[in-house]
Amino acid sequence: MLGWLDARPLSLAITPDRARKLADKPKLKTLTDAVMFFPNRYVRASFPDAQDLMFEGEMFTCIARVEKVEERSNTSGRGARRYMRVQIVTGSTRLSFAMFGNVHLHRTCLQPGNVLMFYGKLALFRQQWELKNVSYVSVFVKDESQFGAFGPLKTVVDIAGSDRKAMEILNRPWLPFYPRRVGTTTAEMLGVMEHVLSSMGDPTEMLPSPRAGRDAPTWPVDQYGAPLLDFATALRQIHQPPVEGPEPARARLKFNEALELQLVMALRRADATQRSSMPMALGAEGSLRQAVVDSLPFELSEGQIDASAEISAALDSTTPASLLLQGEVGSGKTVVALLAMLQAIEAGYQCAFVAPTEVLAVQHARTLVELLGRSTAGSAVGVTVLTGSQKTADRKAALLDVVSGQASIVVGTHAVIQETVEFFNLGLVIVDEQHRFGVRQRDKLRDNSPVDRTPHMMVMTATPIPRTVAMTMFGDLTPVRLPGLPKRAGGTARQGVSTTVVALEKPHWVARVWQRCREELDAGRQAFIVTPRIEGFGGVLQTVEWLSQTELHDYRVGVLHGKMPADEKDEVMSAFAAGEIDALVATTIVEVGVDIPNATMMIILGADAFGVSQLHQLRGRVGRGEHGGVCLLLPSDQSLPPATMERLHAVASTTDGFELAELDLKQRTEGDVLGADQSGSRVRRSTLLDLTEDEFLINQAREYAEALVRYDEPLARALVVDIEVEEQDYIERH
- How far is residue 238's CA from residue 259's CA, in Å, rounded to a whole number? 18
Tell me if 299 sits within 8 A of 491, measured CB to CB.
yes
* pLDDT tens digits, one per residue of 52-63: 567 888 888 888
Least confident of 163-172, 476-485, 591-600: 163-172
Q: Could you tell me which residue, 523 or 390, shows the higher pLDDT? A: 523
CA distance 672 to 694: 14
Q: Is the peptide bond before 464 cis (omega within 30 degrees of 0)?
A: yes
Helix, strand, coil in percent for the chain, rounding step 5: 40, 20, 40
pLDDT tops 80 at residue 223: yes
Q: What is the pLDDT of residue 558?
A: 95
Residue 669 has pLDDT above 60, yes or no: no
Residue 427 lies in a domain: no
Q: What is the pLDDT of residue 51?
A: 57
Average pLDDT for 535-543: 90
| Rounded Cα gap, residues 427 and 414, in angstroms | 18
**pLDDT exceeds 80 at position 681:** no
Residue 531 and residue 586: Cα distance in Å, rounded?
A: 6
Across-strand partners of 428? Answer: 351, 456
CB-facing half-sphere around the CA of 217: CA atoms within 13 A: 23
CB burial of 377-393 (b: ≥16 within 10 Å; e: otherwise) equals bbeebbbbbbbeebeee
The mean-pLDDT minimum among 245-249, 370-374, 641-645, 721-725 falls in: 721-725
Q: Which of 173, 200, 227 is the last residue of a domain?
A: 200
User: 3-state SS string over 306-346?
Assistant: HHHHHHHHHHCCCCCCEEEEEECCCCCHHHHHHHHHHHHHH
> Between 689 and 675, whose confidence is greater?
689
Residue 281 in any domain: the answer is no
- Of 88, 63, 83, residue with least CA distance to 73: 83
Q: Is the pLDDT of residue 724 over 60?
A: no
* Residue pLDDT, tens place only, 90-112: 877 889 999 887 788 788 888 89
Look at residue 465 in the predicted model and tell me its pLDDT.
Answer: 47
What local confidence, expressed as pLDDT, does residue 186 receive? Answer: 76
The full length of the chain comes to 734
In whole angstroms, what is the distance from residue 633 CA to residue 382 CA?
41
Distance between CA atoms of 685 and 679, rounded to whole angstroms? 10
Q: Please determine, for residue 23, whether its predicted confidence score (pLDDT) is greater than 70.
A: yes
The pLDDT confidence band at residue 629, using thresholds 50, 70 and 90, is: very high
Strand positions, DSSP E, 328-485: 350-354, 383-386, 409-412, 426-431, 456-461, 478-482
Segment 24-41, tens digit of pLDDT: 877 889 999 999 999 988
CB 335 within 8 A of CB 513: no
* pLDDT (0 to 100) of residue 297: 82
pLDDT higher than threshold 70 for residue 473? no
| Domain final residue pick, 167, 183, 200 | 200
Residue with the larger pLDDT of the pair 330 and 246: 246
Looking up residue 85, the CATH number of its domain turns out to be 2.40.50.140
Write down the pLDDT at residue 467: 46
Give the range of the structural domain holding residue 572, as residue numbers without chain letter: 497-654
Whether 701 shows a pLDDT value over 80: the answer reads yes
pLDDT at 388 over 60: yes
Report pLDDT for 286.
Answer: 59
Averaged pLDDT, 448-462: 77
Burial class (CB in 10 A: 0-12, 13-18, 19+), 319: middle
Of the residues 171, 200, 229, the one at which a domain ends:
200
- Which CATH number do you get for residue 583? 3.40.50.300
Is residue 483 situated within a structural domain?
no
* Nearest-angstrom CA–CA distance, 183 and 37: 14
Q: CA–CA separation, 734 vs 725, rounded Å?
A: 14
Alpha-helical (H) ranges within 185-230 are 186-200
Percent of the chain clearing pLDDT 70 (strictly above): 83
Looking at residue 631, its pLDDT comes to 96
pLDDT for res 732:
44
Rounded Cα–Cα distance for residues 513 and 547 (Å): 12
Q: If pLDDT is split at 50, 70 and 90, which confidence band does 152 have?
A: very low
Give the model's confidence band at 219: pLDDT under 50 very low, under 70 low, under 90 confident, else very high: very high
393's enclosing H/E stretch is: helix 392-404
Contact of 601 with 630, CB cutoff 8 Å:
yes
Residue 725: per-residue pLDDT? 45
Q: Name the amino acid, one letter, at 490.
A: G
**Domain membership flag for residue 366:** no
Q: What is the dihedral of CA 131, 132, 137, 138, to 10 degrees?
A: 50
Q: What is the pTM assigned to this prediction?
A: 0.71
410 with 332: CB under 8 angstroms?
no
Residue 193 lies in a domain: yes
Residues ≥6 apart with Cβ < 8 Å to 451: 278, 425
Residue at 578 is within a domain = yes
> How large is the average pLDDT for residues 699-704?
91
Q: Enter the DSSP assignment of 96.
A: E
Cite the beta strand spans of 141-296 per DSSP E.
Answer: 174-177
DSSP structure class, residue 208: P
Residue 149 pLDDT more than 50?
A: no
The region of weakest confidence among 166-180, 616-630, 655-669 is 655-669
Q: Is residue 393 part of a domain?
A: no
Q: What average pLDDT does the chain have?
A: 82
- Residue 212 domain-assigned? no
Q: How many domains does the chain have?
A: 2
pLDDT for residue 409 is more than 70: yes
Question: Residue 213 — very low, low, confident or very high, per pLDDT cuts 50/70/90?
Answer: low
Bridge partners, 84 (sequence order): 71, 99
* Number of Cβ atoms within 10 Å of the Cβ of 147: 19
The predicted structure's pLDDT at residue 733: 42
471 has pLDDT over 70: no
Q: What is the CA radius of gyration of the chain?
A: 31
pLDDT digits (tens, 9 = 90+) for 424-451: 889 999 988 654 555 555 566 666 665 5
pLDDT digits (tens, 9 = 90+) for 291-328: 899 888 888 889 999 999 999 999 999 989 988 888 87
